Homo-oligomer: A and B are copies of this chain.
Amino acid sequence: MINKLVENIKRTKAPIVVGLDPMLNYIPQHIQKKAFAEFGETLEGAGEAIWQFNKEIIDKTYDLIPAVKPQIAMYEQFGIPGLVAFKKTVDYCKEKGLVVIGDIKRGDIGSTSSAYAVGHLGRVQIGSKTYVPFDEDFATVNPYLGSDGINPFIDVCKEENKGLFILVKTSNPSSGEFQDRLVDGRPLYELVGEKVAQWGENHMGDEYSYIGAVVGATYPEMGKVLRKVMPKSYILVPGYGAQGGQGKDLVHFFNEDGLGAIVNSSRGIIAAYKQEAYAEFGEKHFADASRKAVETMIADINGALENR
């Protein structure tokens, strides 16, 4: 899957990923009304509204982008019907040729990590049959529990040619509370980055490892250091746009080959029609606004990479 991700990025010339993190208040009234008319103001109604919203954005952007990153919390908050919408979204994106990064931030130990891995990236055995429950291509994983937490995910990834993005330095203001604490004079996130590089050596694709890292766009200096610590790991970079990061801040997350990083934007793309800059599209044509926002983002990042 890392090979497919790299291929998709080269083909689209777009080192970006669209975060499918729908909140009900992002979803245009006409979609909500239609879903509620059919299913009522219920969890099912919310699930349907999310799914229709996602579908239209995917239809209008899939040819421009290599990957999507649905944030499962935004679906899980609507219980079972929300998770049904998550699964529909994953399947539809894969049909469209997109790489799907499940932003699930799971993490546990031993057989419990195996269960998450099987559920999201692998196949589960039931009697004589096997099933692929959620079937994302990549999953985000939390490293706090150490190798016992990560290795069961890697085992499943090896079987399935799938991959991980492990949280190293997150984009939020308080990420430093624990991640920046100095251990033997070096911040904890660097030690985590070193482990990601080691874990990654065990599951290499052609050019890059299947085991990547999450490093927030809001910390460009740390991105520069971590790029060197994990030369063969793809870096998934959240925090572009709404959280403050811009193309020019992100050049050091990339390797000299122009690869090695993929920048996520969620609200900035899927709720673009709510921004002044895209107001001309109107609520009805929200997905056209998303397409325009994708084009602008790609131009911003590629422009910065050309000028570095």
Q: What residues of chain A have their CB less than 8 Å away from a CB belonging to chain B?
A: 21, 23-24, 32, 36, 41-43, 45-46, 71, 73-74, 76-80, 82-84, 87, 105-113, 115-116, 118-120, 124-129, 131, 133-134, 142-149, 167, 170-179, 181-184, 188, 191-192, 195
Contact = CB atoms under 8 A, between A and B. Distances in A.
A74 B115 CA distance: 6
Contacts of A41: 126-129
Chain B CB count within 10 A is highest, among A43, A71, A146, A179, for A146
Contacts of A147: 174, 177
Contact of A183 (B73, B78, B182): B182
19 contacts: A23-B111, A41-B128, A73-B115, A73-B119, A74-B115, A78-B133, A80-B83, A82-B133, A83-B83, A105-B107, A145-B167, A145-B170, A145-B175, A146-B172, A147-B174, A148-B175, A177-B195, A182-B184, A183-B183
Given A106-B105, A112-B21, A178-B192, A43 B126 contact: yes
Contacts of A178: 143-144, 146, 188, 191-192
A173 B148 contact: yes
Given A32-B127, A42-B126, 7 more contacts: A42-B129, A46-B124, A77-B118, A80-B83, A80-B133, A144-B170, A178-B191
Copies per assembly: 2
Contacts of A128: 41
B43 A133 contact: yes
A111 to B, nearest CB: 7
Contacts of A149: 172, 174
Chain B CB count within 10 A is highest, among A71, A79, A82, A128, for A79
B119 A148 contact: no
Top 3 closest A-B pairs, CB basis? A79-B133, A41-B127, A146-B177
Contacts of A71: 108, 112, 115
A77 B119 contact: yes
Nearest to A21: B112
Contact of A131 (B36, B43, B182): B43
Nearest to A131: B43
